[in-house]
Structure 1
Amino acid sequence: MSALSVLLLQATSAQAETRVHVRNGSFTDPHVTENSYRTFGVGNGIDGWTVTQGSVDLLGSGFAQRDGYVQAVDLNGDGRGAIRTQIDTTPRHRVYVHFKATASADPRKICTGSNIPEALLRVQGEDGKGAFESLGKPDANAVAHWQDYTFEYTATRENGFVTFSSVNDSACGPWITDVRVYESDRPEGIPIH
């Protein structure tokens, strides 16, 4: 269990959470043909998300190895990339960002071999603080190993945001999907009776 998951378990046992709307958290719009991808650069966006650094690839469900209509984002389009989405938050409330991630599992097998580094993901809230997560090395057989992760922070304003970025400089880095956000029902520091 990662440190991010442990933090979530400790925090959620003490208080209730409310779901916060995330537009296009499974990256289904625009639709990409099942076994293909589409690249987006800075200033362009995937519905509900803005590319803030480099480029990202929107992966069709087959390419991403996801069931159903769920698509994913490869945070290393033509190199290191980042995306951001705006969320409605309440200042001083804890925000919990749940998502699925895997190291690149490009079916073209361009991310295999001993010289490929671990996929490193950075998640950041509007407070400027972030967390890094190693997703391991890409699978030698290009199989996606999707796992659940959680990042939490304290909201500093009503119109907050969450940013996902790659730390890898190659074409092989982290993939994300199924982004969900929850917020604590009371401000941080208020005792629970």
Structure 2
Amino acid sequence: MTVTLTRGRRPARLATAVLALSACSVLTAPAAGAASGPILPIGNGGFETPVITGQAYYDTGTGLGAWNVTAGSVDLIGPGGPWPPARGRQSLDLSGNRPGTIEQTFATTVGRCYTVSFALAGNTYGLPVVKTGYAKVTQGTLTTQKDFTFDTTGKTPQNMGYVRERFTFCARDSRATLSLVSTTDGVYGPAVDDVVVIPRPRCIGIGLDIGVGGETSRED
């Protein structure tokens, strides 16, 4: 009898799981005639604006499309510059004439979780060998921070060795500010490209976002 009762419960659990998956599928499936994929809230994530040739320095108070340089200096790298991008035509050295910070404020949906993702490498033309910095999302007094390091040992301008950095935050306001910061001494800093902020799928009726992580913690 015990075996019979155990088998009798399994279909109920399976039905619940199927219902949950169906709810997620309904939410994440694109509507008929709509463009596939989510609408990404970040702008100029590939640093394709402004269009340059070679390289150009941007100091505090200047803009890079949707980004603002809020501290120090950054170095925009274009075609004919010292290294190729991870994607597209341009990338960014977060240390220009000195370590720099860029920021962008974007719209969010309260209660929704998002994954921040970007390509990371390092300027191989000078020391230090290990480049350091962090990415940070700020919502009022709430901060989610991802520290990063990149070791340029064995890397060259022709083989940058880009890696993918990721972290997740959950929106507690209708707007959030993303900052990318170099903490590398000198003028040879972290190289970044292809910054994206991707809304995470949610399950209707369950009240949970999939893949929630790192609300107020520092992620290393």
CA apart distance, 1:140: 5.7
Q: Identity of aligned pairs, percent? A: 22
SS in 1 for 2:130: coil
Instruction: Tell me if structure 1 keeps the 8 A contact 2:40–2:198.
Output: yes
SS in 1 for 2:143: coil
The match for 1:22 is 42
What is the CA deviation profile of residues 137-185 of structure 1, one whole-angstrom value per residue up to 9, with x for unaligned ones?
3656433111222121122211212110011121111111111111224
Instruction: Tell me if structure 2 keeps the 8 A contact 1:20–1:89.
Output: no
The match for 1:78 is 97
How has the CA–CA distance of structure 1 residues 67 and 159 changed in structure 2, closer, same or farther, with 3 Å as cutoff? closer
Does 2:115 correspond to 1:100?
A: no
SS in 1 for 2:173: coil
**TM alignment of 1:12-51, pairs within 5 A:** 18-33=38-53, 36-51=54-69
Name structure 2 gaps, 5 residues minimum. Answer: 1-23, 29-36, 210-220
The match for 1:121 is 133
TM-score by length of 1: 0.77
Give the AA of the match of 1:30.
P
Tell me whether 66-75 or 125-134 shows the greater mean CA deviation. 66-75
CA apart distance, 1:85: 1.2
Give the Cα–Cα distance (whole angstroms) in 1 for the partners of residues 144 and 72 of structure 2.
21
What is the CA deviation profile of residues 14-59 of structure 1, one whole-angstrom value per residue up to 9, with x for unaligned ones?
x7694423211111111111xx111111111101100111010111
Name structure 1 gaps, 5 residues minimum. Answer: 1-14
Tell me whether 162-171 or 66-75 shows the greater mean CA deviation. 66-75
The match for 1:156 is 172
Higher helix proportion, which one? 2
How has the CA–CA distance of structure 1 residues 103 and 125 changed in structure 2, closer, same or farther, with 3 Å as cutoff? same
Q: Cα RMSD over matched residues? A: 2.4
Instruction: Tell me if structure 2 keeps the 8 A contact 1:18–1:182.
Output: yes
The match for 1:132 is 147
Give the AA of the match of 2:150.
L
The match for 2:6 is none
CA apart distance, 1:68: 7.2
TM-score by length of 2: 0.68
Give the Cα–Cα distance (whole angstroms) in 2 for the partners of residues 20 and 66 of structure 1.
21
Give the AA of the match of 1:32.
I
Instruction: Tell me if structure 2 keeps the 8 A contact 1:125–1:161.
Output: yes
CA apart distance, 1:62: 4.0
**TM alignment of 1:53-92, pairs within 5 A:** 53-63=71-81, 64-66=83-85, 69-92=88-111
Does 2:192 correspond to 1:176?
A: yes
Give the Cα–Cα distance (whole angstroms) in 1 for the partners of residues 87 and 172 of structure 2.
36
Give the Cα–Cα distance (whole angstroms) in 2 for the partners of residues 141 and 71 of structure 1.
17
Tell me the number of residue pairs that the alignment of Structure 1 and Structure 2 aligns.
Answer: 168
SS in 1 for 2:117: strand
Give the Cα–Cα distance (whole angstroms) in 2 for the partners of residues 102 and 185 of structure 1.
29
Give the Cα–Cα distance (whole angstroms) in 2 for the partners of residues 89 and 116 of structure 1.
37
The match for 1:146 is 162
